[in-house]
Amino acid sequence: MRPMQSLFKDIKGLVGAYENCPKFLSGKQMRELVVLENAWFSVDNGLIKGFGTMDSCPELENVNVVDCSGRYVIPSWCDSHTHLVYANDRAGEFLDRLRGLSYAEIAAKGGGILNSAKALRNMSEDELYTRSLDRLNETIALGVGAIEIKSGYGLSLEGEEKILRVIARLKETSPIPIKATFLGCHAIPVGFESSSEYTDHVVNEMLPKFVAEGLVDYVDAFCETGYFSVDDTAKLIDAASALGVKSKIHVNQFTKLGGIELCVNKNVLSVDHLEVVDDKDVEALKLGLKNDIPTFPVALPICSHFLGIPYTPSRSLIDAGLPLVIATDHNPGTAPSGDMLEAIRLGSVKMGLEPVESIAAGTINGAAAMELEGYVGSLTPGKRANFLITGQISGLEVIPYRLNDSVVDKVYVNGEQWLG
């Protein structure tokens, strides 16, 4: 029988090691993410038990000892924005883009979100669950230790409920924490004349039912030109708030509509995308820091990389004192990857962040953007022992520098090595 306790010793750098971890890190604090050198830490019954420098390493009997010489131990990634539950990929649309069609042109001819909705309608819930579970296990193998999953490809009461039920089933079977987001206002389906009409349907028919069934942790809307207006978004946020549900909103991916200011004023948990941001938006986000939990700005660099659109001005957001989050946006159309390591690397290579800033954005701040800071995101006694061990590397700067190398050697979930 394997021992319940494990000791990891001779660690080159123990990242995010806090006795009392802050809820999140803002601005220059992100560059000060704790990295304890020449360290040990212990795991007992799936939880982090303790840590310290090697000169205080305990002599323990009947434990599993893991030599981490030359290696870094990092909290598992906390991916706070994904669309992981979908029927099929959209590789054909990728070919359309290579041939010159824009995101909007593909959507106009029935592609994009509408394409995913059609495929989902034709797939059974069991098949959707099986495919989604495979994707989830793949992301765990890549080092993800907590995840948010959105609906949004149903575009009908039946379709959205199917996705949310699948997410509920994943929660039951997955070893990592999952948050479910009802992305009711994602696109306007055939049969509705306007975004306002469909928003009313979402707010009056879908939302109360799904909340009553316990399927919803958060709500979301795609606040963007050609999709849902600021007024539509406000209606959804207010309806959810009346039911005790918080919001996480897509804003400023292609255009500025005033969505960021709206979300800060309504204490939305996060605003995601932010590829198009001006000084007024930054000032609005800074006002949100006065709240106990601010409105987190979430960058999705894999989407920017894949679509060839601007990246979130993450350097500027951090320099403004904000608690930046990095997530994957894993979806079949615009970010077909659940690899948080790739997103972390792009944070440095394309957005100018130092490695510790990118790591903070994808761990401690990612956890806070899902209200999971008490469970994951740092190597703090009492939290889940979800972490990854790198190969032997000279420093954390090697992670973005070695752009195509895994660098992750082992992944642990609840104190046990993840073997898939």
Give percent of the chain above pLDDT 90: 86
Query: pLDDT tens for residues 301-324?
Result: 999 999 999 999 999 999 999 999
User: If 0-12 CB within 10 Å is exposed, 13-18 middle and 19+ buried, where does residue 398 land?
Assistant: middle
User: If 0-12 CB within 10 Å is exposed, 13-18 middle and 19+ buried, where does residue 254 land?
Assistant: middle
Question: Count of residues for the chain?
Answer: 420
As a whole number, mean pLDDT of residues 78-88 equals: 96
Query: pLDDT tens for residues 216-246?
Result: 999 999 999 999 999 999 999 999 999 999 9
Structure tokens at 300: 């999705």
CA distance 339 to 79: 9
Helix axes 125-141, 157-173, angle to 10 degrees: 50
Residue whose token pair is 């055939």: 190
As a whole number, mean pLDDT of residues 294-306 equals: 97
Residues forming CATH 2.30.40.10 domain(s) in the chain: 5-75+378-417
Correct CATH for 5-75+378-417 of 1.10.3720.10, 1.10.10.10, 2.30.40.10, 3.40.430.10: 2.30.40.10
Looking at residue 1, its pLDDT comes to 45
Q: Give kind and range of the element (H or E) at residue 261.
A: helix 259-265
Q: Which range, of 32-41, 102-111, 127-136, 195-204, averages the lowest pLDDT? A: 102-111
8 A C-beta contact, residue 203 and residue 236: yes
Smallest CA-to-CA distance from 148 within 366, 364, 401 is with: 366
Output DSSP code: residue 225: T
Output DSSP code: residue 253: S
Q: Which range, of 87-91, 180-184, 224-228, 308-312, averages the lowest pLDDT? A: 87-91
Structure tokens at 129: 């669950």
Question: At 126, is the secondary structure helix, strand, or coil?
Answer: helix
Structure tokens at 384: 């889940």
* Residue predicted with more confidence, 136 or 88: 136
As a whole number, mean pLDDT of residues 190-199 equals: 95
Bridge partner list, 402 = none
8 A C-beta contact, residue 403 and residue 349: yes
Q: Which range, of 108-122, 215-229, 263-277, 342-356, averages the lowest pLDDT? A: 108-122
CA distance 281 to 305: 23
CB atoms within 10 A of CB 292: 6
CATH no. for 78-368: 3.20.20.140
Output DSSP code: residue 330: B
Structure tokens at 380: 């703090």
CB atoms within 10 A of CB 177: 19
Residue whose token pair is 């790591």: 359
| ∠ CA 331-207-188, rounded to 5° | 55
Question: At 75, is the secondary structure helix, strand, or coil?
Answer: strand
As a whole number, mean pLDDT of residues 118-128 equals: 92
8 A C-beta contact, residue 317 and residue 63: no
Looking at residue 2, its pLDDT comes to 52
As a whole number, mean pLDDT of residues 155-182 equals: 97
Residue 15 has pLDDT above 50, yes or no: yes
> For all residues of the chain together, what is the average pLDDT?
95
8 A C-beta contact, residue 375 and residue 6: no
Query: pLDDT tens for residues 236-289?
Result: 999 999 999 999 999 999 999 999 999 999 999 999 999 999 999 999 999 999
As a whole number, mean pLDDT of residues 66-80 equals: 98
CA distance 299 to 76: 18
Residue 97 has pLDDT above 70, yes or no: yes
Output DSSP code: residue 206: I
Residues forming CATH 3.20.20.140 domain(s) in the chain: 78-368
